[in-house]
Amino acid sequence: MSFASYTDAIAKPFMGITPWILRLSFATSFVLHGLGKFPMPADGLVRLFESKSIFMPELTASLVALGEVGAGALIIIGGIFGTTLGHTLTRLGGGMGLVIMIGALSIAHADWFITQKLFMSEQIFLLALALYFAIRGNN
């Protein structure tokens, strides 16, 4: 038996849960980040948005918190349903996550673009996972 065949035999029983590893990682991170901004509006986020002249900082901060929780929830709920609805919910959650991560990187971490700091942060992975779910849905 070749080494590749051996590793395939070990991995095969776990193939069905691999999408859930990504799904749960993304959803847990987003829900926890969002809940960390409660009660709304999160004062620190409001101050950041005010310093960046973001329109209606209190409302925007609240929408970010709700969007993070919502995106994470949609990724989980979408995965539970194996239907067209589930596929759509997963893509919607990924799209919401993508918008939030682009906003976070543009507003809070603009100095990170294409630097070592970006690629050593969790934000790049959340962005990549959001893009993955927005494109792939449940496929």
Tokens standing for residue 42: 């999160």
Q: What is the pLDDT of residue 72?
A: 98
In this structure, the chain runs to a length of: 139
Q: What is the pLDDT of residues 86-124, one digit of tens each?
A: 999 999 999 999 999 999 999 988 888 888 888 888 899
Could you give the count of Cα atoms lying within 13 Å of 17 in the half-sphere of its Cβ?
A: 7
Token pair in block for residue 133 = 């779910």
Q: pTM for the complete prediction? A: 0.89
Its sign, for the CA torsion 60, 63, 68, 69, is positive
Tens digit of pLDDT for each residue in 16-31?
Answer: 999 999 999 999 999 9
Compute the average pLDDT of residues 55-76.
Answer: 97
**Whole-number Å distance between alpha carbons of 11 and 135:** 25
